[in-house]
Amino acid sequence: MTSIYEAIVELERQNRPGALCTVVRSQGSTPRHTSSKMLVYPDGRILGTVGGGEMERRVIEEAKQAMQAGLPRYLSYSMTDPARGDPGVCGGQVDIYVEPINPKPTLVVVGAGHVGKAVAFLARWLGFRVAIWDDRAEFCNPEFIPNADEYHLCPLPELPQHLQITPWHYLVLTTRGADLDVEGLPSLLESPAAYIGVIGSRRRWATTRKRLMEEKGMKKEVLDRVISPMGLELNAETPEEIAVSILAEIIMLRNGGHGGRMHLTVSDKSIETE
């Protein structure tokens, strides 16, 4: 039988999410005692137990929410009076720490031209997993873009059938034209990707957006997910500079930054003043 630790290793090997729930304090009569563990999968399946019953059901729901947020939770339950909302009648108190197992973020380069190649290189250096898509075999291979984790050579609308896109995926469309964007974006926008950015000018995106609404019947609210032009304003010119601009925006959004120049923002509180 697979142990919880083996299952965690497998989750990390597959780069999939989960949540480890551990009883960190138990007082009085409780279903399980300190150090009892349960691993929760995104679909609600579990391995191990923290006590069963209503309390465990609540912990599973909290674990699923923790996976979505990517942040840990500390839960406390009194097991005394169900009439006031307690999840049991054992008479004890139990505290449970829920630790999400977050997948490594994946940067999906959609279009492996000059900019896409630079984005892939920088993303790998920054610690992202990297997936490459292109419909041209000469660009979608390890010889042209080394060290990517995945290569997907297929029509763009079919990419979600080959790559399971999750909230830990960042889609960077560095495609060679609006026609590809019009064909590929509808299926990509059905995914829960954390970021969908499209390269190009405001005019290109305005034209693409209009075509998506007229030819594909897409709604404004759905298209509002797209970031275009993508990246921070660096007046970038070369593929490498553009890659820095794009990855800087993604890092800013992931970490809750604002993109301002450091010396013009609020001073660091850790610096002592006289």
Confidence of residue 42 (pLDDT cuts 50, 70, 90): very high
pLDDT for position 81: 52
Banded model confidence at residue 40, pLDDT cuts 50, 70, 90: very high
CA nearest to 215, candidates 178, 188, 160, 169: 178
Provide mean pLDDT across the span 106-118.
97
Domain ranges for the chain: 15-101, 106-255
Q: Is 41 helix (H, G, I), strand (E, B) or coil?
A: coil
Q: Residue 249 has what pLDDT?
A: 97
In angstroms, what CA-CA distances link 73 with 25, 56, 69? 14, 15, 10
How large is the C-alpha radius of gyration of the chain?
23
Beta-sheet pairing, 129-134 with 150-153: parallel
Global pTM exceeds 0.85: no
pLDDT at 87: 53
CA distance 62 to 120: 35
Q: Are 101 and 18 in contact (CB under 8 A)?
A: yes
Characterize the bridge pairing of strands 106-110 and 195-198. unpaired
263 pLDDT more than 90? no
The three-state secondary structure class of 265 is coil
pLDDT of residue 266: 61
* Token duo for residue 37: 């563990």
Mean pLDDT of 29-33: 77
Which band of pLDDT confidence, cut at 50, 70 and 90, is reported for residue 153? very high
Report how far residue 22's alpha carbon sits from residue 19's, in angstroms, rounded to the nearest whole number: 10
Condensed to tens digits (0 to 9), the pLDDT of residues 213-230 reads 999 999 999 999 999 999
User: Residue 80 has what pLDDT?
Assistant: 63
Strand order in the sheet with 37-40: 46-48, 37-40, 18-27, 93-101, 73-78
Q: Which one is predicted more confidently, 88 or 190?
A: 190
Whole-number pLDDT of residue 83: 59
Place of tokens 């049991």: 88
> Which CATH entry fits the domain spanning 106-255: 3.40.50.720, 3.40.50.2020, 3.20.20.150, 3.40.30.10?
3.40.50.720
Beta-strand pair 106-110/93-101: unpaired
Provide the pLDDT for residue 26: 87
Report residue 130 as tokens: 């990297």
Per-residue confidence (pLDDT) for residue 32, from 0 to 100:
77
For residue 180 the two structure tokens come to 């590809």
**Token pair 């419909």: residue:** 135
**Banded model confidence at residue 262, pLDDT cuts 50, 70, 90:** confident
Q: Is the pLDDT of residue 245 over 90?
A: yes
Which tokens in the block code for residue 234? 């660096």
Question: How much is the pLDDT for 123?
Answer: 98
pLDDT, position 274: 44
86 band by pLDDT with thresholds 50, 70 and 90: low
Adjacent-strand bridge partners of 58: none
Kindly compute the dihedral angle of the four CA atoms of residues 212, 214, 220, 221, in this order, to the nearest 10 degrees.
-60
Which residues, 6+ apart, have CB-to-CB distance to 158 below 8 Å? 187
| β-strands 18-27, 93-101 pairing | antiparallel
Q: How large is the average pLDDT for residues 239-255?
A: 96
pLDDT band of residue 200 (cuts 50, 70, 90) is very high
Percentage of the chain lying above the pLDDT 90 cut: 77
pLDDT band at 33 (very low <50, low <70, confident <90, very high): confident
Determine the Cα angle at 91 with ends 89 and 93, to 5°: 110
